Every structure is written in C-alpha cells, then in structure tokens.
C-alpha cells in the first residue's frame, strides 16, 4: 500500500505543464500536489515508526495506571473513530456521485491521460473505478493518521 500511495502521488505532477503564471491556477496545482504528497509521507512515517519499533517504545512508556484512564479515553477513541469513518465515507460518496452519477470526471491527472490517449468509454469507466479506489485509500490514510494526533 505504501508503494501504491507513492505512485498515486507521483501522477499528480502531471498537472504542471510549464505554462502556469502567478495566479489561481498555479496555486490550485501547488495545493493539489502538496496534498497528494501528504498521504504517502504520513504513511511512510507510520511505516518507519512501526518497522523500527519506535512507535512500540512510545506506547510502552505510557502510564496506564491512572484511575478512569480507560473509560475517559475509550469514549474519545470511539468518537474520533466514528467521525473519521463518517468523513471518509461522506467524501467517497461525494466523489462517486460527481464522477459516476453526475457524469463529471474531475480528476485532472486522469483527464490528461484520457484526452492524450483517446481512451474509449468502457476503459474510462474502469479508470474511474480505479481512481475511486485510490481516493478511498487516500482519504482513509489522511483521516485516520490525522486522528492519531
């Protein structure tokens, strides 16, 4: 999944064509690229922390002897988990609606690919489905790693 996340973020560099000038278009593209790079960076950080054992050391240093600790934080964890799932699911529902039901494919990087190679309609639907799966993974990574803080 880490490799897929990095490959997914690399494809966002295709939106820059070298003809940008200072303005809204340039800032949208820079924001798109930076948000696409955030997900694999977060996943890489968690992978390295888990693989080296530093995350395990942090969890072992936590003092669990406080009274009411588990009740207090158990409720918070449940609330944050529900909010994260609601955010992820609502984002994917909106993404699916815009791309499939409304018929507006708004993924700039895939539009460049589709228009350049003149992809036929059945293959466009397959590309939309793959992009939806990548979007699900991306939103889940962003949502759940932010809640870990």
If residue 110 lies in a helix (H) or strand (E), which one and from where to where? helix 108-117
- Per-residue model confidence (pLDDT) at position 64: 62
d(CA 59, CA 54): 9
Give the domain range for residue 29: 2-147
pLDDT digit string (tens) for 83-131? 999 999 998 898 888 888 877 777 777 777 777 788 888 888 888 888 8
Q: What is the mean pLDDT of residues 31-41?
A: 86
Under DSSP, is residue 118 helix (H, G, I), strand (E, B) or coil?
coil
Q: How many domains does the chain have?
A: 1
pTM over 0.85: no
pLDDT digit string (tens) for 60-78? 887 666 655 666 677 888 8
- Per-residue model confidence (pLDDT) at position 90: 93
Cβ atoms within 10 A of the Cβ of 138, count? 24
């Amino acid at each position: 999944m880490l490799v897929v996340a990095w490959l997914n973020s690399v494809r966002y560099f295709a939106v820059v064509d070298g003809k940008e000038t200072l303005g809204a278009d340039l800032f949208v593209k820079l924001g798109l690229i930076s948000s696409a790079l955030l997900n694999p960076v977060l996943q890489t950080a968690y992978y390295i922390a888990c693989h080296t054992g530093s995350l395990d050391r942090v969890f072992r240093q936590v003092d669990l002897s406080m009274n009411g600790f588990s009740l207090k934080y158990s409720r918070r964890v449940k609330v944050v988990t529900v909010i994260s799932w609601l955010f992820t699911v609502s984002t994917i529902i909106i993404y699916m609606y815009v791309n499939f039901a409304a018929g507006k494919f708004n993924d700039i990087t895939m539009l460049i690919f589709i228009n350049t190679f003149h992809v036929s309609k059945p293959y466009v639907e397959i590309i939309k489905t793959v992009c939806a799966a990548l979007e699900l993974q991306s939103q889940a990574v962003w949502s759940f790693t932010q809640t870990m803080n």
